[in-house]
Amino acid sequence: MRIGIDVSPAIRYYKTGTEWYVYNLIEALKKVDSTNHFFLLYSPTPLSSDLVKLPAHWQNKVLSWPFKYLWTQIRLSLEMLFRAPDILFVPAHALPLIHPKKVITTIHDLGFERSPEVYTRWQRFYYRFAHRFAAKHAVKIIVPSEFTKRELINLYDVSPEKIVVVPLGYDSSLFKVYAQEKIQEVLMAFKISGPYLLYFGRLTKKKGLIKLIDAFKSISDENQDLKLVLLGKPDFGYQEIKQRIAFHKLENKIIELGWVEEDKMSFIIGGARLCLMPSLYEGFGLPVLEAMACGSPIIISTNEALVEVGGEAALMVKNDSVEAWIEAVKQVLSSRELREEMISAGFIQAKNFSWEKCAKNTLDVIDEFTK
């Protein structure tokens, strides 16, 4: 049985949640696959890094495309028209217009439907088309949370039997507790000193960063040495975030690191007094797992997907209340006992998730259509 997988997101240099999902899922699938299937990994350019190391029954098929856009809809569609695999797995939203009858996809979230104002007009158009097309044509839809499953049922009227919940994992070889000496060495390289709060993820309006900055203004007035570190690549709405920082005159208290490689990011997470995830909308929330695995307590918004991931290990706060965020941060910073309880609970909660488990469950979905 020939199984094709669109791995194009995994080869991007600047990876965030979806790209890391595809990358880590492929790496885990290579380890758990014990079948006689033949896997074809489709990409616009050759694989790099660890992705290059493929088992004997795996192959990278490079589908060259000279343009920046429409690789999926045109180049991958042409491949499906003339040389389609028995099953196509698309782990990141957009199906090619031409595809085999047996196509499986992962839909991560429908945030553009719930909060359209934090997306560009082009993003809204493209995401809505791609997700509705995928929901209609896929024989099975993988989602990372029960929340996203409910969203698909409620917004797109997808049959529950068509949806399978497969939670994501985290890289336990990277996201773990490190010695303080090594953490301090990395922090010095990034010119971070003193206690700090940490947000990591894309710097975009939908992540609730405006209210986080408002809350930090009040917190920093009472904690003069405290910094807020923002780790991530700027995205839609970033100018509003910069303007809010300037409005509160927090340029010397908020450190922007931009995009940071994962092997450095884990040290920055481990060195934080507290991690914060005030997202307006999430389909899963990888940073919650990564913070807990690194031994950092985390406060999350009451987004249903984040609550699924954080369980009782994370402190939950209504995202629309700046005052509630102020009080929650103060509560954790002032109580060593609470902080230690959250760290201990976080280790336990994180163990419920792994890329190996994610890969095994994904392979089970694929195998359902190979019989």
In this structure, are 328 and 361 located in the same domain?
no
How far apart are alpha carbons 203 and 317 in whole angstroms? Answer: 20
pLDDT digits (tens, 9 = 90+) for 209-262: 999 999 999 999 989 899 999 999 998 889 999 999 999 999 999 999 999 988
Number of domain units in the chain: 2
In this structure, are 149 and 274 located in the same domain?
no
In this predicted structure, the answer to whether residue 35 has a pLDDT above a threshold of 80 is: no
The string of DSSP letters for 79-140 reads HHHHH--SEEEESSSPPPSS--SSEEEE----HHHH-GGGS-HHHHHHHHHHHHHHHHH-SE
In this predicted structure, the answer to whether residue 205 has a pLDDT above a threshold of 90 is: no
In this structure, are 329 and 302 located in the same domain?
yes
In this structure, are 97 and 125 located in the same domain?
yes
Q: C-alpha angle 293/297/298, rounded to 5°? A: 100
Which residues form the domain of 15?
Answer: 2-169+354-367
In this structure, are 133 and 236 located in the same domain?
no
pLDDT digits (tens, 9 = 90+) for 344-363: 999 999 999 999 999 999 99
In this structure, are 291 and 231 located in the same domain?
yes
pTM to 2 decimal places: 0.94
In this structure, are 116 and 50 located in the same domain?
yes
Position 174 in a domain: no
pLDDT digits (tens, 9 = 90+) for 301-335: 999 999 999 999 999 998 778 999 999 999 999 99
Position 67 in a domain: yes
In this structure, are 226 and 206 located in the same domain?
yes
- pLDDT score at 175: 96
Q: For residues 152-167, give the mean pLDDT.
A: 97
For position 124, which CATH number holds? Answer: 3.40.50.2000
- pLDDT score at 133: 95
How many residues would you count in the chain? 371
